[in-house]
Amino acid sequence: MIKPHGSDTLNPLYVEDDAKRAALAKEAEGLPSITVCSAAAANAVMMGSGYFNPLSGYMNKADALTVAEKMQTASGLFWPTPVLNMVEDPASIKDAKRIALRDPNVDGNPVLAVQDVVAIEEFTDDEMKMMTDKVFRTDDANHPGVAAFNSVGKFAVSGPIQVLNFSYFQSEFAETFRTAMQIRAEMEKMGWNKVVAFQTRNPMHRAHEELCRMAQEAVKADGILIHMLLGKLKKGDIPADVRDASIRKMVEVYFPPNTVLITGYGFDMLYAGPREAVLHAVFRQNSGCTHLIVGRDHAGVGDYYGPFDAQTIFHDEVPKGALEIEIFEADHTAYSKKLGKVIMMRDAPDHTKDDWVFLSGTKVRIMLSEGQSLPPEFSRPEVAAILMKFYQSEAKKQ
């Protein structure tokens, strides 16, 4: 199986030992504490899960700036996005050497992790702008990732962490949330060596389903990891539980047994396009995958990125040998009326717009809200039924 990024073995920051974890939780009760932002909480979950191997904690200012500028830490570790614990006002922890990090996404704000405070450093406005420009390729405040990144303060609290739990992900998504360690163990148990990962924050329609098959066949993979984001999304995106149910139904009905792992990870969407695609590759390598499908407008939002920027970054900006995982470059896929099957659009240069079955997200929402069936060439009926139930319940609320 492919080795993790940056080390020979995974080094998750979750405290596995029950006695040590209980002692740490008891210690945390007496420590100065802060309720971190959702992004910092998600970073802790990703480090605890082994997905952000080999990081040992939150980055300091120097690392964050070089990661934004050059996609590497000050010591030379390849990494595509800053991993920070940003706060607006550090006064309450100014002299603390060790602090408890409280979860903003769980009632009562329980302790999520304990952090050794190595430094508290302030970013200037120019430094914040540079990081924003480099990571998101825009500083437009209407970009959801830009807005989130610039709304949580300018002080970085850096230092190693020990993670006590996986926030709400383990309880709310018990059947789906898995750590990188658990995914590797499951792949090993199934005898998978070559695995292709599919990233999704949306339900999967016929085009996504067929794309997974195309990639598996092209790289001769033993199996497919469908790996869905379970964290915070922008307004209007479909909730994780609905996505989860629809994807499970699709796999149950339309894929052979033991060929697909359906899992999820606890992270907030960045909508950072190319940089986020590279981050996706990093933590899929940590999960043991040998290939990642990178499609049209991967991890993008609006019109901020070119349709294939998330693919070209791997050729133009990721240093050769920085990652062991390979990228399967996909074009937009859709059902061809001419050929009677789903194909990649680049494989049919003779097609016109009318030769495809293609629906916009807006059209899909309207149809489902009004109880109209989606074309079977676009969506499996079992999937459409789950989505229709969701959209109709949403329509009743308005």
Check if the beta carbon of residue 54 is closer than 8 Å to that of residue 77. Answer: yes
Check if the beta carbon of residue 79 is closer than 8 Å to that of residue 67. Answer: yes
> Which letter does DSSP use for residue 9 in this model?
S
Annotation marks residue 202 as catalytic: yes
Beta strands 111-116; 98-102: pairing state: antiparallel
Non-local CB neighbours of 32 within 8 Å, separated by 6+ positions: 92, 93, 96, 99, 100
Tokens (6 digits) for 191: 């005898």
Tokens (6 digits) for 8: 């020979």
Q: Which of 380, 97, 131, 148 is nearest to 275 (CA)?
A: 131
Q: Which of 201, 213, 248, 365 is catalytic?
A: 201
Sign of torsion, CA 229 235 241 247? negative
The number of beta carbons lying within 10 Å of the beta carbon of residue 389 is: 13
Characterize 314-330 residue by residue with b for buried, 16 or more Cβ atoms within 10 angstroms of its Cβ, and e for exposed.
beeebeeebbebbbbbb
Rounded Cα gap, residues 190 and 313, in angstroms: 33
Annotation marks residue 201 as catalytic: yes
Greatest extent of the chain over all pairs of C-alpha atoms, in Å: 69
Rounded Cα gap, residues 150 and 13, in angstroms: 27
Q: Which of 98, 109, 202, 248 is catalytic?
A: 202
Active site residues: 201-202
